[in-house]
Amino acid sequence: MAHPDTVRSAPIPVPLAAFGVLFASICFGLVPYFSRGLTEQGMAPHAVAFYRYVLTALMLFPVLLAQRANWREILWGVAAGGVMGLGWVGYVAALDAVPASTVGVLYMTYPVFTVLIAWLLFGDRPTTRAVLAAGLIIVAALVAGSPASVPVEQVPLLLVSLAAPLGFGFGICVLVHRLSRIPPLARIASVTFGSFLGLLPLVLTSEPAQLLPQDGAGWALIAGIAILTALVPQLVYTICSPLVGASRTAVIGSVELPTMFAVGVFAFGEQLTWPQLIACALVIGSITLTRSRATRNLATNLSRD
């Protein structure tokens, strides 16, 4: 089978597919805007996470039914989705109090967790470039989360936010090592449904005030986080990334982090600091440095976040 980077003809022109990846990545980067808006209305972080996944999970559920013969792979995807969904709660909680740019840098540490989990659980030894890139990302996280950059009282929230990249790293490893037999759309369906199931008990045991927005603007934010940061960009990314190729997808997709920075500046009035800018440059540099097997499979087969 030809590598996606070598595809010469496609139903969608490559420049248009590249724009699709760019559009999807920008949409993923808008998550902090909707997330903080909902938590400021008193909504619990797990409820925000639930609303992001529920629409995609329900719409793609028929895809899972069509793939029920591959139930082992689906169960792996559901398990990975459950871990990812619960981990995303920490990300939302941190966004409620910590600058979006700082949380964004820490979220982008997921390649480090991917390398470690793939090595420890699946025996997938990392390449030299993957190790170097992971080192750059660790430095970026230390710079962005250092006491000079973040008040001491916010450090626990930053540590909790690492549950999101940990969960996403586990999801990538499951995708690479367990979900290759089912179509890309079924992979998204299984992971998203797993997130839905993982968050459902928290939702069912919550007070109504923690689950429902206060007004019409809150419902608009729910629609935005479900459609604009999940359903639509996931589908666009899944269609377009194989046509663009893994390496270019990774580079284009790195716009997600600057988008988070822009949300922090223009939506929340945050001021960027030199440590945050340096951390952003280190993360983007690490993305362009490495093209590990996990990264290639992620870029071509898995929806982001």
pLDDT tens-place string over residues 143-153:
887 766 778 88
Q: How far apart are CA 70 and CA 8, in angstroms?
A: 31
Contacts of 85 (CB under 8 A, 6+ apart): 49, 50, 53, 167, 194, 195, 196, 198, 199
> Which pLDDT value is given to residue 304?
57
> Which pLDDT value is given to residue 290?
63
> Which pLDDT value is given to residue 246?
66
* pLDDT (tens digit per residue) in 199-243: 999 999 999 989 999 899 999 999 999 999 999 999 998 888 878
Question: Using N-to-C axis directions, what is the helix angle for 232-244 and 14-29, rounded to 10°?
Answer: 140
> Which pLDDT value is given to residue 245?
75
Which amino acid type is present at position 83? Answer: V
Number of helices followed by number of strands (H, E) in the chain: 17, 0
Instruction: Confirm if 240 and 20 have CB atoms less than 8 A apart.
Output: yes
> Which pLDDT value is given to residue 82?
96
Comparing C-alpha atoms, which of 40, 150, 163, 159 is closest to residue 101?
Answer: 150
| Residue ranges for the chain with pLDDT beneath 50 | 1-9, 292-303
Max Cα-Cα span within the chain: 54
pTM of the model: 0.86
> Which pLDDT value is given to residue 299?
38
Q: How far apart are CA 115 and CA 94, in angstroms?
A: 24
Residues present in the chain in total: 305
Which amino acid type is present at position 169? Answer: G
